[in-house]
Structure formats: structure tokens, C-alpha cells
Amino acid sequence: MKLVKLIANLGYGSRKDVAQLFRAGRITDLQGEVLYADDVVPHAHIRVDDEPLDPPPGLVLMMHKPLGVTCSRKDPGRVVYDLLPPRYGVRTPALSSVGRLDRDTTGLLLFTDDGALLHRIIAPKAQVTKVYEATLAQDLRGDEAALFGSGTLLLESEKEPLAPAQLEVLGPRQARLSVTEGRYHQVRRMFAATGNHVEALRRIAVGALTLGDLPPGAWRALEADEVALIFRAAE
Ligand code: URA
């Protein structure tokens, strides 16, 4: 792909804008030599205003989603894309969140511009485990683990029962729940089905990938070995 198109696709501006960056000598190699639109240069060697060029397509990010931001492109309030650099919102192919977390759910949220990878993560067949920690309004009854694990729990207004999910009790009102599906408000509705209410919900892992020490609101690009963790069993 021509450098102009590659750089424009990464959100640096229209092709015309990027042609202007070349003319102004703002696109250089590692040694500071000015590059021209027809040059063939490894991605990692390209600098714009002395800064490394944004990562090429195939980008995977993880974010520690904070409270109160929505997983949508447009919303009257703050959206998760507002937490990323503005260029990331106008890349081609587009960067999308991998599934969604509710506005009031915090924790591990993935983004990618790789449609096939996104599908591999969210397809129910893929059986990627999502692990949540829930704080509940009332004490657990004691039968939740058996019910959630049964594969027979039918959520209100659904026709298919939920696949078995694993519940670990962490305290009277605290539980860790591992699910392989991603139905609408799934975790909140599962506890609602037991007469309880989720007061706080945090996703702590997707497969064996965890947030580590990423603070709320922060994000970072994932390395290939970290992407592979998504498809491993949660620890
Ligand atoms: N289940 C929910 O109810 N909410 C989320 O955000 C994720 C899973």
C-alpha cells in the first residue's frame, strides 16, 4: 500500500492532508531522513513529527473501562472512544469494542480493528470465558452456583436456556461468575433471576487475559502473546 494511503487510513488526515505532511518534510525514517510518498519503508521505521507512526491494522487494545462511560460511538454522555486518542476514532478499518459492557460495569474491555478476530472472541462457539466480580444488594441464597451451573436457567423473555456458568462465592454479597456467552445484561439478569440485584459489576478477565495493574480509564495495545491468552482458559 502506498505510504499516503497507509498513513491517511491510520487517521492522520485525508490523503490530501497526508500529502501535505510529506511535502512539509514531517514524515521521516528512523534517521530523520525525509520520506516521500512512494518510498517503501517498514512500518516501524516511519516517524511523523519525530513520533512513531500509530500501529498498523491488526491492532488489539485493552482498556480498564471506568464507571459511567458508554460502549457506543455516539451518546449524549461520555463514550469509551473518548478515552482513546482522537486518531483511533477515525482509522480505517475502524476500531470497535469487542462486545459491550454496561455503562455501570467497569473492567476489562477489548478493542480491535480485526473483524475476524472480533468474531472469534464473541462467537458463542468460541467459548471464550468472561469472568466478572459482582457485589450484590442481598445475601446469596446458596443455590445460585447449582442454578447457574445447570444449563437450564431461562432468562426472562428468552427462548434458549443459558449455557452452564461457574459461580464462586467470595463473601455473603460477593461472587465471581464465569460465563461463556455474552447475552444482553447477562450477569445482572442472572442474579435478578434469583431475586437479587447487582450493585457493582467488574469484568476481571477475558480468557486468561487479566487487567493487571492497568488503572481505570487507561488503555494499552496488546502484544500477540497477550492476544493468545484470550483463547486460553481463565486461571
Ligand atoms: N453482564 C451484564 O449484566 N453487564 C455487563 O456489562 C456485562 C455482562
Nearest residue (by CA) to ligand 1, atom 4, is 185
Residue 201 has pLDDT above 80, yes or no: yes
> Helix, strand or coil for residue 10?
helix
CATH tag, 60-124+213-229: 3.30.70.580
CATH architecture observed for domain 3-52: Roll (3.10)
Q: Which residues in the chain are classed under CATH 3.30.70.1560?
A: 129-206
pLDDT tens, residue by residue, 148-188: 999 999 998 899 999 999 999 999 999 999 999 999 999 99
d(CA 167, CA 28): 54
Band of pLDDT at residue 216, cut at 50, 70 and 90: very high
Of the candidates 84, 87, 77, the one whose C-alpha atom is nearest the C-alpha of residue 18 is: 87
Q: Which CATH class is domain 129-206?
A: alpha beta
Nearest residue (by CA) to ligand 1, atom 3, is 185
d(CA 200, CA 203): 10
Q: Taking residues 3-25, report their average pLDDT.
A: 95
Report CA(135)–ligand 1 centroid distance (Å). Answer: 13
Residues recorded for the chain: 235
Q: What is the DSSP letter of 88?
A: G
pLDDT tens, residue by residue, 129-143: 999 999 999 999 999
Q: Taking residues 201-222, report their average pLDDT.
A: 97
d(CA 37, CA 192): 58
pLDDT tens, residue by residue, 54-100: 999 999 999 999 999 999 988 889 999 999 999 999 999 999 999 99
Mean of the per-residue pLDDT values for the chain?
A: 96
Which amino acids bring their CB within 6 angstroms of ligand 1? 101-102, 105, 185-188, 201
Q: Give yes or no: 102 in active site.
A: yes
Q: Which residues in the chain are classed under CATH 3.30.70.580?
A: 60-124+213-229
Residue 214 has pLDDT above 80, yes or no: yes
